[in-house]
Amino acid sequence: MRLLLAALSLLQQPRVERPDVRAGLDTLYGGGFPAAAAYFAELAARDSLDPAPVTFEASAYIWWAAALENDAYETARIDSLLDLGIARARAAAPGPARDFWLGTALGYRARQRDLHGHSWSAAHDGKAMRDAYARVLAVDSSCADCYLGLGVYQYGLARAGALARFVAKIVGLGSGDAEQGIDYIRRAATTGDLARVEAGWVLAAALVREAARDRERRTALERDARDEVTRLAARYAGNPVFQRFLRDVPAHSP
């Protein structure tokens, strides 16, 4: 009986142990955006059912666009890849692994839709992402990667405009909690697996935004943000997005 229970427990865990994906992410975060996109495209071609490679191929183009400071770069390709990632995830057998990859792809698509002014579609995807990650955590409370999406959801709702927050409550999205959102993102940045680097980057961006809102804590918040990106840049020195952040955010003495 103990062996049976142990086997069932293992089957319930989301499949985030992906050395093949991690290798591509190291290339991506190192600034090799074209190479990372090509690597994930090759992985996707090997398995037409796997949602992870196409989702992270889209991520490579998102980072590439950020490096170019061009939000319009390859938007059609990114949208198509994320749609495919979501479709592949939804076609998978029910369970935490399916929900994890579904939440990940939905989170990226929500980000893209919000970036390009499609607030309602972004909110719909954000809620679906939140629900997917919540299902994962109901089975596996140790899924630290899940907290990146949940943190962005909480933080984004809390920092939306007054009208957007009012509408969000009406349609059942909730009101958000900025402090809890940052705590969730920090958790993913500290203990996450595949999402650790992205969470660190998102955390730094959130801290800078908080610094602009809080004059009394501005220096401390900007210092924390720089410290976060300094750690990322030390590991991934070739990433121009990290280097630009360190140039733009002022350094403060301890």
Q: What percent of the chain has pLDDT over 90?
A: 77
Q: pTM for the full model?
A: 0.88
Six-digit token pair at 178?
Answer: 């900025």
Tokens of 109: 């698509």
3-state secondary structure of 160: coil
53-94 pLDDT per residue, tens: 999 999 999 999 999 999 999 999 999 999 999 999 999 999
100 CB contacts (<8 Å, ≥6 apart)?
Answer: 14, 15, 16, 132, 133, 136, 143, 145, 146
pLDDT at position 254 is: 62
Does 175 have pLDDT greater than 80? no
| Nearest-10 crossing angle of helices 178-191, 196-213 | 150
Map residue 193 onto helix, strand or coil: coil
Note the pLDDT of residue 8.
Answer: 33
